[in-house]
């Protein structure tokens, strides 16, 4: 068995300050909201503890420095909210909106989003059962209601009646190229809904390759938003895509094909 990486720990007060000041910089929390800040600190501390504890025996993340967990997982995930807020065409999630996170891994980006917005109805989808078991434990520990952890391949889940074109928004921080991600995610989204994708600085090349996928999947990129991640030199290109028409029954194609033979 591969030896678990050593966890680099810090005083919880240091981590709480990273979280609260980071949320302030993202425009997601005012420091004077003391009660909310305390609750968020407790929730994210619990998430961090569960993540690193589970990671000691089941590979979920390469990041085992607690500060990096807060910056590269929690604040990084919440940059999606910042992008939606500062976009020229502001994207609003009404109370009780439904979100699916496709290829969620250890819950990023959507679980931090759910912690911030407990009113959201969230589905966490992943093809590996070990990740789903972890997510179920975390959601139970955090007492997150209206949350479904779904063990399924993206291509197969999108053909299930309860999930096809059923969500106000899909989100993803997965590493697949944008043409493949579009085919994985757009079929879950209602007409008029959005797919919000967190990408790195080289996304422009992926966008050029996505013209066919966007056309076939009746969607359009409405904006690419630059967001800086607090307490780091990292930044995201957050791609905001709107779905304009119903997805043809041919999509997504059978398991494995969107990645091996993307719509380019």
User: Could you tell me whether strands 189-199 and 147-151 are parallel, antiparallel, or unpaired per DSSP bridges?
Assistant: unpaired
End-to-end CA distance of the chain: 40
Residue 134: Cβ within 10 Å count = 23
- Residue 89's pLDDT is what? 87
- Residue 5's pLDDT is what? 81
pLDDT band at 1 (very low <50, low <70, confident <90, very high): very low
pLDDT band at 93 (very low <50, low <70, confident <90, very high): very high
Which helix (H) or strand (E) segment holds residue 124: the answer is strand 121-126
- Residue 3's pLDDT is what? 64
**Which tens digits make up the pLDDT trace of 131-189?**
999 999 999 999 999 999 999 999 999 999 999 999 999 999 977 999 999 999 999 99
Q: Which of 22, 31, 27 is nearest to 76 (CA)?
A: 22
Q: What CATH number corresponds to the domain at position 138?
A: 3.40.50.150
In a domain, 4, yes or no: no
CA distances to 23, 227, 253, 254 from 250, rounded to whole Å, are 41, 35, 6, 9
pLDDT band at 33 (very low <50, low <70, confident <90, very high): confident
- State whether residue 135 is helix, strand or coil: helix
In a domain, 250, yes or no: yes
User: Are the C-beta atoms of 220 and 244 separated by less than 8 Å?
Assistant: yes
In a domain, 7, yes or no: no
In a domain, 1, yes or no: no
**Which tens digits make up the pLDDT trace of 180-210?**
999 999 999 999 999 999 998 889 999 999 9
Residue 128 has which token pair? 């590996």
Number of separate domains in the chain: 1
Q: What percent of the chain has pLDDT over 90?
A: 92
User: Are the C-beta atoms of 251 and 219 separated by less than 8 Å?
Assistant: no
Whole-prediction pTM value? 0.96
Beta partners for residue 198, in sequence order: 238
Beta partners for residue 223, in sequence order: 240
Average pLDDT, the chain: 96
Q: CB-side exposure of 17: number of CA atoms within 13 Å?
A: 5
- Residue 30's pLDDT is what? 86
In a domain, 144, yes or no: yes
Domain that holds residue 255: 12-260
Compute the average pLDDT of residues 87-92: 91
- Residue 123's pLDDT is what? 99
In a domain, 62, yes or no: yes
């Amino acid at each position: 068995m591969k030896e678990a990486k050593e966890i680099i720990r810090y005083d919880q007060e240091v981590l709480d300050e990273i979280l609260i000041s980071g949320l302030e910089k993202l425009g997601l929390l005012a420091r004077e909201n003391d009660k909310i800040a305390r609750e968020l600190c407790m929730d994210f501390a619990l998430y961090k503890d569960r993540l690193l504890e589970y990671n000691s025996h089941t590979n979920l993340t390469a990041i085992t420095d607690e500060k990096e967990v807060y910056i590269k997982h929690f604040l990084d995930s919440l940059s999606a909210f910042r992008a939606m807020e500062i976009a020229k065409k502001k994207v609003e999630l009404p109370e009780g909106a439904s979100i699916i996170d496709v290829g969620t891994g250890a819950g990023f980006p959507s679980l931090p989003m759910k912690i911030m917005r407990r009113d959201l109805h969230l589905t966490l989808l992943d093809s590996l059962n070990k990740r789903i078991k972890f997510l179920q434990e975390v959601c139970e520990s955090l007492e997150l209601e209206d949350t479904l952890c779904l063990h399924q391949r993206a291509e197969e889940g999108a053909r299930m009646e309860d999930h096809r074109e059923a969500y106000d928004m899909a989100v993803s921080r997965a590493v697949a190229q944008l043409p493949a991600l579009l085919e994985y995610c757009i079929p879950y989204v209602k007409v008029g809904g959005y797919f919000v994708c967190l990408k790195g600085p080289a996304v422009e090349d992926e966008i050029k390759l996505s013209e066919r996928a966007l056309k076939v999947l009746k969607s359009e990129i409405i904006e690419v938003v630059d967001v800086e991640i607090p307490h780091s030199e990292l930044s995201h290109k957050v791609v905001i895509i709107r779905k304009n028409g119903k997805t043809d029954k041919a999509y997504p194609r059978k398991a494995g094909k969107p990645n091996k033979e993307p719509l380019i």
